[in-house]
Amino acid sequence: MLNPMSVMVLFEGEHRRLVLWVPVMLALGALAYFLWPCEPGWGVGVVLPAVVAGLCLGACFCWPHSLLARLPGGVGVALAVGFGVAWLAAHRQPPMPELPRRGTEVTGIVRDIAYFPAPMEQGGLMRRITLAQAVLHDFVDDGMQPLRRTLDIRLVPQDSVALLPGDGVRVRAVLQPPPFPALPGGRDRQFEAWFSGRAGSGYAQEPVLVESGPQPSAFGASQVLDTLRERVDARIRHVLPGASGAVVATVLDGRAEAVPQSVREDFAASGLAHLLAVAGLHLGIVMGAAMLVCRMVLATWEYAALRWPCKAVSAFVAWVVGGGYVLLTGVHLPAERSWLMSSIVVFGLMVGRRAVSMRGLALAATLMLLVAPQVVLDVAFQMSMAAVIALVAGYEVLHPRLLRGLSGLAGVRQTLVRHGLMLVLTSLLAGTATLPVVMAHFGVVQPFFVLANLVAVPLMALWIMPLGLIALLAMPLHADGPFLHLMNGGVRIVLWLAHCVAGWPGARIVVPAMPGWGLGAVLLGLCWLCLWRGAWRWWGMPVVLLGTITPWLMTQPDILISPDGQLMGVRDAATLRVMGHARDERVVKAAWAQATALPVSDFPAKGVAGAETADGSLICGEGEVAGTCALLRHGQEVVLRIHDSSDGRAALPNNVCAQAAAVVSVAPLRESCLDVPVRLDRFTAWRGGAQAVFLAHGVRVTSDRQRRGERVWVLKPGGHGMPTLPLAQAE
């Protein structure tokens, strides 16, 4: 057993690593706010963190030489700051507006244009525009101010009107707010929309009209960048149509919407999905190529080679080029983290100091959490940080041993072996560290990621990205065609590799949903394992392993109910039986299949005599009431009303519900089954969102609203937001 004094001795031995825990504490503070059971007011959100931070700072100043005071004081300050910054970030967002539930004329300014594959029967590409300063033209919203949030509108397939960012447009569209999670604890698109500034999405009912005349510009430099990205994307699609051209556009301008779903699945199953997300790999290649070219040019200039700090100048030029690439590709989170870390390295080179990678990562994470604390729940942030922290810590330990092991080799042989081993080591470290994060967010494991990356990463570094940079430089001169075609050749090899590896047996292993505390245990254990240097760092390994196996330790729900109450799924040993129909049926089924790691099969939507599962636990159509099923499991009987043409006005007979412990209905239950302890119907889903029913120890129901609570980003029942009120009449 360790006593407090021995623990303090351990911390004193790691005192230079304590600063690395600042972003971890900030993230925990922000996470405490986001997981708070209800929305805290000013007192809890601002005043309490300020008081705690002040008291902890006071303790640090009163006992500046006592680690026993400075350590908890610093932890308290970081936690309080993280909580307060998260509260401020959530409350400075504009409210979610109430959107009309019918076709409405919408005018606004095009902020962005995205292309994505059309359905199989239509073929080609479809467009989705992002509208800013949107105004809704109907009798309810007459005289309203422009929306402070953006709208994503999918255009009709036959719409060929030329559009550019900054154009004013008018379109008739059907709008809908961000959807509720498909199951309790599922992906929260309302949270994502709240912090991304989106009000909702929709689809156009007719071709868009471009409004003439000057349009108000509120974007400035962002509009210029969006226009540039659109032109680069259009040029690439013109030269390279098809799936490979979409991948080329992804790595050069960050637009991944046009990549076909089949290609995405191949990349995901082969462990190459990171190639479709502009991150540290792409930015490192771009900055490395820029620094190499600049260094060679300066070396050929005698005056500069003798008088200038060529290494520092080349690093600065690479930093500027990397920043331009980040802007061109849409300023995604992993690219932001990589560019911030490179800024630390460049600054260290310019002032003649040694750049510490782990401290650079900590500083980059701290800045990102202070500016946008909501990234703590973002999959890109979690994967990026997990991969980099594992790489830095792994190379701190293994790189010296690798060099000693290769000391017996010399010349080209040593270089080839060293680069090969470093490539394998990089893939192992990054892939293993991000594996639990992939399991938690995507429900899959890719066991062959190392083999695929051994070929794909060198191709990306030595062939695809260098030719892509040359193509971008040659694009203003219309001389980019040959370089794009050469780049396309390398991309086709990667596509073939991803397809082959994805076709291997066991290339994609599905896993059940990981609980949030399991993912938190993995990330905290990984931080403990990588941030310390002493032997006690290995205490984090059991925590990581425990978090990784939590998907198989959790009890799976027996019944799932969609957010609108119109779809229900019954889980058995090998299949998820889905009954009913819903508007977002495809999305809900995909989320349920991922969460349960089971294939989805449709069960008869209406009660058909004799319809039952192989084990006889689910039987439909045997009673005297059509459209009902009976589930018998764990000694509990559940009545499922999967179809009702009377909208609940025809009451269920008493004998149907006599032995039932619960009844679930797609229609209002009204006067049906009043004596049943648990009654779930359309109104229950309207109030509480998606439902999960557990039958192992009695009937236990968990709803989405119970999991998320009453928060500023959670829409009111039915998906209602803040009414958009018109301007007051002038007196």
Alpha helices in 16-172 (DSSP H): 22-34, 42, 48-62, 67-91
Is pLDDT at 580 greater than 90 in this prediction? no
Is pLDDT at 618 greater than 90 in this prediction? no
Span 470-482, mean pLDDT? 89
The answer on 527 and 566 residing in a single domain is no
pTM: 0.89
The answer on 438 and 577 residing in a single domain is no
601 belongs to a structural domain: yes
51 belongs to a structural domain: yes
Q: What is the pLDDT of residues 331-347, one digit of tens each?
A: 777 777 778 878 877 77
Is pLDDT at 2 greater than 60 in this prediction? no
328 belongs to a structural domain: no
CA angle, 215 then 221 then 227, to 5°: 70
The answer on 165 and 121 residing in a single domain is yes
pLDDT the model gives residue 158: 83
Span 41-64, mean pLDDT? 90
320 belongs to a structural domain: no
- Across 603-669, the runs of DSSP E, i.e. the strands, are 611-612, 618-620, 628-633, 636-641, 662-665
The answer on 65 and 38 residing in a single domain is yes
pLDDT the model gives residue 416: 76
Number of domains in the chain: 4
Per mean pLDDT, which of 135-139, 701-705, 718-722 is the most reliable? 701-705
pLDDT the model gives residue 590: 92
Locate 664 and state its tokens: 């679930």
pLDDT the model gives residue 635: 86
- When mean pLDDT is compared across 417-426, 444-453, 590-599, 605-614, the lowest value belongs to 605-614
Q: CA separation (Å) from 492 to 282, 436, 464, 489?
A: 18, 29, 10, 5
Locate tokens 């082959």: which residue? Answer: 500
pLDDT the model gives residue 15: 75
The answer on 132 and 60 residing in a single domain is no
The answer on 596 and 546 residing in a single domain is no
Of the pLDDT bands very low, low, confident and very high (cuts 50, 70, 90), residue 616 is confident
**221 compared with 33, residue with greater pLDDT:** 33
The answer on 529 and 398 residing in a single domain is yes
The answer on 117 and 26 residing in a single domain is no
The answer on 614 and 690 residing in a single domain is yes
- When mean pLDDT is compared across 100-109, 255-264, 362-371, 630-639, the lowest value belongs to 255-264
582 belongs to a structural domain: yes
Cα–Cα distance measured from residue 508 to residue 184, given in angstroms and rounded to the nearest whole number = 25
What is the torsional sign of CA 272, 273, 276, 281? Answer: negative
The answer on 212 and 107 residing in a single domain is yes
Amino acid letter for position 497: L
The answer on 158 and 58 residing in a single domain is no
CATH of the domain at 138: 2.40.50
- Parent domain of 30: 1-92
317 belongs to a structural domain: no
Question: In 3-state terms, the chain is what percent helix, strand and coil (to 5)?
Answer: 50, 15, 30
**CB 654, CB 633: distance < 8 Å:** no
The b-or-e profile of 447-467 (16+ CB within 10 A means b, else e) is: ebbbbbbeebbebbbebbbbb
pLDDT the model gives residue 562: 94
Q: Mean pLDDT score of the chain, rounded to an integer?
A: 86
**140 compared with 290, residue with greater pLDDT:** 290
- Across 120-197, the runs of DSSP E, i.e. the strands, are 125-137, 150-154, 168-176
Is pLDDT at 608 greater than 50 in this prediction? no
462 belongs to a structural domain: no
Q: What is the pLDDT of residues 633-656, one digit of tens each?
A: 888 899 999 888 888 788 888 888
The answer on 535 and 615 residing in a single domain is no
Cα–Cα distance measured from residue 632 to residue 637, given in angstroms and rounded to the nearest whole number = 5
Is pLDDT at 622 greater than 80 in this prediction? no
Span 603-623, mean pLDDT? 67
pLDDT the model gives residue 725: 64
pLDDT the model gives residue 607: 42
pLDDT the model gives residue 12: 66
Share of the chain above pLDDT 90, in %: 37
Supply the DSSP symbol for 218.
Answer: -
Q: Looking at 54, 73, 92, which one is the last position of a domain?
A: 92
**612 compared with 685, residue with greater pLDDT:** 685
Of the pLDDT bands very low, low, confident and very high (cuts 50, 70, 90), residue 36 is very high
Per mean pLDDT, which of 203-217, 220-234, 398-412, 678-692 is the most reliable? 678-692
Span 547-555, mean pLDDT? 93
Using DSSP bridges, classify how beta strands 198-204 and 150-154 pair: parallel, antiparallel or unpaired: parallel
Span 191-211, mean pLDDT? 92
Q: Looking at 29, 59, 92, which one is the last position of a domain?
A: 92
Of the pLDDT bands very low, low, confident and very high (cuts 50, 70, 90), residue 122 is low
**H or E stretch including 113?**
strand 103-117
Q: What is the pLDDT of residues 314-335, one digit of tens each?
A: 888 888 998 888 888 887 777 7
667 belongs to a structural domain: yes
Cα–Cα distance measured from residue 155 to residue 203, given in angstroms and rounded to the nearest whole number = 6
Cα–Cα distance measured from residue 549 to residue 543, given in angstroms and rounded to the nearest whole number = 10
Is pLDDT at 371 greater than 80 in this prediction? yes
Q: Looking at 158, 188, 219, which one is the last position of a domain?
A: 219
Span 60-85, mean pLDDT? 88
